[in-house]
């Protein structure tokens, strides 16, 4: 089994949901964890303490707003100085905005594209030279089933997630001759604050209970009728970093209860 002790794992958007679960899974492997995202000081301290109890490595926080190129540059610079670079980069931070295209606010389009797509371009370009120098690196982009198929009213999100799968393939080709891989993970519904908001909106719009809205949300798209467990996404990330996955690069891997099999 791979030893993650001494390895630096940056997980963007890891103060909540899928990113936080991924951080905990790598903490269990004793990696050094760099977590990022928005939260109150109390929440950040709690996450830092929780992760520090799990891992024997260091736990660092950087609060960069990843819609801002200069803050991404400062974050990577700080990580390089503190721990000597990123070995495993997990581009996870993402937001959603739901609206028919003719009413889609252009500033929301820009924001979703900046966070869900451009941020991964910036972190990747800034981490790659160090990975190449070390001769090893793993980049995982948390895309979505919406990188493979579309849903109505999610123009920016679907465009950004299709885009990040394209970016994944280019990075995979440009690094193919080194021991560096770049892959995308495509989750279906995962019960996180991002999806809880959508269930709440459905319940209000259709005058349903939370339970009915949750059932409808799942049965529309996810044949398993179960949410994906965020820790299973963490385990999938660990697998993609393992030696067994050395020749897996440039793929977009669904973890979606059958959503994209339809």
* Residue positions annotated with a catalytic role: 157
Residue from the set 8, 15, 118, 124 that interacts with ligand NAD by CB under 6 A: 15
95 binds ligand NAD (CB under 6 A): yes
Positions in 199-258 near ligand NAD (CB under 6 A): none
Dist CA 195 CA 157 (whole Å): 13
**Shortest distance (Å) from residue 178 CB to ligand NAD:** 26
CB within 8 Å of 198: residues ≥ 6 apart: 96, 98, 217
| Whole-Å CA distances, 160 to 95, 141, 146, 233 | 10, 12, 9, 20
CB of 194 to ligand NAD, least distance (A): 3
- Taking the C-alpha atoms of residue 127 and residue 111, their distance in angstroms, rounded to an integer, is 23
Q: How far is it, in rounded angstroms, from Cα 24 to Cα 14?
A: 10
| From 22, 51, 89, 115, residue interacting with ligand NAD (rule: CB under 6 A) | 115
* Residues 56-75 interacting with ligand NAD (rule: CB under 6 A): 65-67
Q: How far from 56 is each of 5, 104, 262, CA to CA, in Å?
A: 8, 46, 43
Nearest CB to ligand NAD, comparing residues 97 and 134: 97
In 3D space, the residue among 39, 6, 10 whose CA is nearest the CA of residue 22 turns out to be 10
Q: Which stretch binds ligand NAD (CB under 6 A): 88-96, 176-184, 211-219, 238-246?
A: 88-96
In terms of CB distance, is 38 or 239 closer to ligand NAD?
38
DSSP 8-state code for residue 2: -
Q: Does residue 34 contact residue 83 with C-beta atoms inside 8 Å?
A: yes
Stretch that binds ligand NAD, among 44-52, 75-83, 89-97, 238-246 (CB under 6 A): 89-97
Q: Interior CA angle at 223 toward 219 and 224, to 5°?
A: 105
Q: Which is nearer to ligand NAD, 106 or 193 (CB)?
A: 193
82: closest CA among 105, 104, 49, 59?
Answer: 59
Residue 93 in the binding site for ligand NAD (CB under 6 A): yes
Q: Does 190 bind ligand NAD (CB under 6 A)?
A: yes
Q: Which of 7, 10, 11, 18 binds ligand NAD (CB under 6 A)?
A: 18
Q: How far is the CB of 189 from ligand NAD (least distance, A)?
A: 5
Lookup result for tokens 């977590």: 35
* Count of residues of this chain found to bind ligand NAD when the rule CB under 6 A is applied: 28
Among 74, 79, 91, smallest CA distance to 171 is for 91
By the rule CB under 6 A, 23 interacts with ligand NAD: no
CA atoms within 13 A on the CB side of 260: 17
- Which segment (17-25, 75-83, 200-208, 244-252) binds ligand NAD by CB under 6 A? 17-25
Binding footprint of ligand NAD on the chain (CB under 6 A):
13-19, 36-38, 65-67, 92-95, 115-116, 142, 144, 187, 189-190, 192-195
């Amino acid at each position: 089994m791979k030893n993650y002790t001494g390895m630096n794992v940056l997980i963007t958007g890891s103060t909540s949901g899928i990113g936080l679960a991924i951080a905990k899974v790598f903490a269990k492997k004793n990696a050094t964890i760099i977590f990022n995202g928005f939260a109150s000081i109390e929440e950040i301290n709690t996450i830092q303490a929780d992760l520090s109890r799990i891992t024997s490595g260091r736990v660092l926080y950087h609060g960069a707003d990843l819609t801002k190129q200069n803050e991404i540059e400062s974050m990577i610079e700080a990580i390089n100085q503190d721990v000597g670079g990123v070995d495993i980069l997990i581009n996870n931070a993402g937001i959603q905005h739901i609206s028919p295209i003719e009413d889609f606010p252009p500033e929301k389009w820009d924001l979703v594209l900046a966070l869900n797509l451009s941020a991964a371009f910036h972190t990747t370009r800034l981490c790659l030279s160090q990975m190449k120098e070390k001769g090893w690196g793993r980049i995982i982009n948390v895309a979505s089933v919406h990188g493979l198929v579309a849903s109505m009213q999610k123009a920016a999100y679907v465009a950004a997630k299709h885009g990040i799968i394209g970016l994944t393939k280019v990075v995979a080709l440009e690094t193919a001759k080194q021991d560096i891989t770049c892959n995308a993970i495509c989750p279906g519904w995962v019960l996180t604050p991002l999806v809880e908001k959508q269930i709440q909106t459905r319940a209000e719009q259709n005058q349903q209970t939370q339970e009915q809205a949750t059932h409808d949300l799942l049965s529309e798209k996810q044949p398993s009728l179960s949410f994906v467990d965020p820790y299973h996404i963490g385990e999938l990330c660990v697998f993609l970093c393992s030696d067994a996955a050395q020749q897996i690069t440039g793929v977009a891997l669904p973890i979606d209860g059958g959503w994209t099999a339809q």
